Amino acid sequence: MIKLLKKLNPKKRQVLHTIFKIFLVLLGTFILAFGTGVFLVPFNIITGGVSGISILLGRLNILSVDIWSYIICWSLFIVGFFVLGLKFSLSTLISTIFYPIFLTILLRIGLGEACLSLLCPKNGIVYINGNLSVLPTTIQSLGTGNLLIISLFGGIFVGLGCGITFIGEGSTGGLDILCFIFKKFFNFSVSVTSFILDASVILIGIIVDIVNGGTSTTFMASLIGIIGAFSCAMAIQYIYNGLESSYVCDIITSKPDEVNDYVQKELERTTTYFKIVGGYSKEEKTMIRLVFSKREYTTIKDALSKIDPEAFITFTKAKLVTGEGFENNENSKDLAINSLIKKAKKKNEKV
């Protein structure tokens, strides 16, 4: 296996890398649909996004939730194509095609029902407008605690799916398209816009329940959707950005040699010296830059406070750090192939 991967020429590696990315996008899209179709839609839990809007529109009893998902996804895709261009639209194309399809499979075929039967009594599972759903009385009998857990895991699955899709260099489309449109024309932060849109969907769901005199069950499901939204955001953060992160520490100190000795002897890391001039005092000073992993944060912070309590220190979270003491810097095109080679080596070593 290892020899086969190493013999691949750059063009074949590129093809394999592309296939691997498409696989990740499809896998992420399916997990996203699974979290939505099994944990959120049947229980009417609104966590924002296309699923939240589809659930709200599904309550009109005009079209089912999955059909609304087709309409919303493709409408936003068309808008994104004309406003953001072909390149961006291609990154959302796979999810736009397959997310509604996967959702339909889960909501209309036995796969979703089999999974749902593990979460609640089977006699409480029904099909409304052709879509898998749970009776309000069954939801009420589950209690707030169980509903909270269902929402939590629904958000985790949705976030996991989104994160895997992002790793595959794809996009889940949907309301993300509106976020990038606001970014293009108004320079709004994508993350802030995404939060506002999701929060608005949840808030609308709560208002609709109040105005229409909804049951306490549907109202509670709307409130619990907030927890699902938070678990989704956390899952994306950990899957896409990684559990392990690094920090860059800039230290302006009168004791640079003591700090440097500590870093080299205790941490077995190195530093970089910068000669700087104070903007107010006009005095020449020394700044030390140190890069370290997240698990060393508290140790370094406490040590610096003992070495020089008067030091001016800033900690900055780094997106990626490569080089000696950290991950090797690999070309993105070869990353998937090299990852397979490493896994194959480990497997052979165990054997």
How many CB atoms lie under 10 A from the CB of residue 184?
Answer: 13
Of the two residues 164 and 4, the one the predictor is more confident about is 164
> What is the per-residue pLDDT for 337?
42
Q: State the average pLDDT over residues 72-87.
A: 87
Are 109 and 131 in contact by the 8 Å Cβ rule? The answer is: no
Q: How confident is the model at residue 102 (pLDDT cuts 50, 70, 90)?
A: very high
In DSSP terms, 132 is beta-bridged to 127
Which residues in the chain belong to E strands, given as ranges? 125-128, 131-134, 246-252, 272-277, 284-293, 312-318
> What is the per-residue pLDDT for 330?
53
The pTM (predicted TM-score) of the whole model is 0.70
Backbone angles phi, psi at 121, to 5 degrees: -60, 140
Q: State the average pLDDT over residues 141-167.
A: 86
Alpha carbons 313 and 254: distance in angstroms, whole number: 12
> What is the per-residue pLDDT for 70?
93
Highest mean pLDDT among 19-33, 116-130, 136-150: 19-33
Comparing C-alpha atoms, which of 197, 201, 206, 212 is closest to residue 60?
A: 212
Alpha carbons 108 and 37: distance in angstroms, whole number: 10
Q: How confident is the model at residue 227 (pLDDT cuts 50, 70, 90)?
A: confident
Q: Is the pLDDT of residue 343 over 50?
A: no
- Length of the chain, in residues: 351
Q: How confident is the model at residue 340 (pLDDT cuts 50, 70, 90)?
A: very low
275-328 confidence digits (pLDDT tens): 888 888 888 888 999 888 777 788 888 888 889 888 899 988 876 666 665 555
180-203 confidence digits (pLDDT tens): 888 788 877 766 777 788 888 888
Q: Which residue type, as a one-letter code, is found at position 318?
A: A
State both tokens at 121.
Answer: 């009594």
R_g (Cα) of the chain, nearest Å: 25
36-56 confidence digits (pLDDT tens): 988 888 888 888 888 889 888
Backbone angles phi, psi at 268, to 5 degrees: 60, 40
